[in-house]
Amino acid sequence: MRAGHLSRLIVLLVGFLATACGSATQPATPTAVQPAESFITLAATVVAIAAQPTSTDTPLPAPTATPTTAPTDTPTPPPATPELRQLTEGGCCVQPFFSPDGQQVLFIDKPDPAAPAGIYGVEVSNPPAAPVLVDEVIGFRSPDRTTVATMDGDLARFVNEATGESWAVDTGGNWPRYSLDGQQIMWEARDQEGPYDLRQTDIWLADLRGDNPRLVTTVTGGGSVGWLPDSRRIGLVTREVQGEEAQTLSILDVTTGQQTKLVRDKRIRGIEISPGGSWIVYFVTFSDTSGNSGIWVANPEGTVVQKLNVPAFGAYHWRNDTSLIFIPMRESAETSMQLWQVDVVANESRPLTDPNSQVFSISNGDWTVAPDGNSVIFVNSADQNIWLIALDNP
């Protein structure tokens, strides 16, 4: 999509990505981190709340696709060196994400004036190919993509595209977030005026079809950071003491009301829940406690909280339930970015790509990890096309 088309669709994209990827993340801009004044906003995350340094778009040489060998009669083992592969042409797209099965890369587009705006996709196994229309409705989709919600004033209107069933839920004009089992929705009603750290946010839950709506909690100066995979617990950030910058990250069991406090520190940002729910990663900036600024993980029970041993500050997304894909901040805009893997259990980091042989630069922190953790897609700052880096098994 060209810039003019993207500007008309970016608001819808934000909410859509939050559900299509199964998390509130998104998310994120690569090179010096800018403190967020609003912890959760429709304009930012989409992707979520990723801890990424702000990026520079100074183009590097365009990535060179790794040559592929001719097919053989025997299975070819995974490449020993990560493979760079171009997926799109013409600088078409931003904010790409994977289909749930990881076989397609999806994005909002309107290829030409005669084509409908919608969700387009390219096959990971057949690049570069012309994108095909996958969904004409742009909205907030359930994790399995069968149900889509669009906003109509105060109502979220849902359609099950498999059965044709439709219904509406009064969310006060706030976009819904699906539980990972697709059986519940959550929305937030936030005060719109006053100092941010004094604004209250009501967090509501209901069954998927709007039954049993209930206010589960109210937080000050914060909000929800998403569902855990058990669809029973949610993460929360709040300021417990008015006027203080310190925030508390906690886990709320919505069935029992029990709340478990994990950490309290200044400017907790970039919160992402691991795919299996075993860990929560976040970063702290400008902490008043010496040594506390940096990237941390905690388990939902609050029994383990540790600072990660990483080569520098940088951007991250979960690769699997116990490891992160990490991109350290670059020393200069002329050097290539590099992928690392961080094992949060062993607290060890290792490089996955060689910046001398796999040269790439990500535009505006626009990258994500495949559901199986075996590849990364990104918008290349040199040509504004979507590229893929194929990795060895985790």
Q: What is the mean pLDDT of residues 51-75?
A: 41
Query: In degrees rounded to 5, what are phi and psi of residue 188?
Result: -120, 135
pLDDT tens digits, one per residue of 284-308 = 988 888 888 999 999 999 999 999 9
With contact defined as beta carbons under 8 Å apart, do 237 and 196 qualify? no
Q: What is the mean pLDDT of residues 204-230?
A: 96
Q: Is the pLDDT of residue 312 over 50?
A: yes
Lowest mean per-residue pLDDT among 48-52, 119-123, 327-331: 48-52
With contact defined as beta carbons under 8 Å apart, do 316 and 326 qualify? yes
Structure tokens of 36? 């967020």
Q: By C-alpha distance, which of 351, 346, 304, 344 is closest to 322? A: 344
Residue ranges covered by each domain of the chain: 3-68+79-390
Distance CA 92, CA 390 (A): 21
Radius of gyration over alpha carbons of the chain, in Å? Answer: 21
**Higher-confidence position of 356 and 29:** 356
With contact defined as beta carbons under 8 Å apart, do 345 and 309 qualify? no
Structure tokens of 320? 């699997």
Strand residue runs (E) in 223-308: 223-227, 233-238, 246-253, 259-266, 268-273, 280-284, 294-298, 305-307
Distance CA 360, CA 262 (A): 37
Q: Is the pLDDT of residue 254 over 90?
A: yes
Q: Is the pLDDT of residue 159 over 70?
A: yes
Count CB atoms within 10 A of the CB of residue 18: 28
Query: In degrees rounded to 5, what are phi and psi of residue 3?
Result: -60, -40
Residue with tokens 């859509």: 16
pLDDT tens digits, one per residue of 345-379 = 999 999 999 999 999 999 999 999 999 999 999 99
Structure tokens of 42? 């429709």
Q: Is the pLDDT of residue 174 over 70?
A: yes
With contact defined as beta carbons under 8 Å apart, do 305 and 242 qualify? no
User: What is the domain class of 3-68+79-390 according to CATH?
Assistant: mainly beta
Distance CA 37, CA 256 (A): 31
pLDDT at 63: 56
Q: By C-alpha distance, which of 274, 352, 289 is closest to 81? A: 352
pLDDT at 8: 38
Lowest mean per-residue pLDDT among 30-34, 58-62, 156-160, 311-315: 30-34
pLDDT at 277: 97
Query: In degrees rounded to 5, what are phi and psi of residue 7?
Result: -65, -30
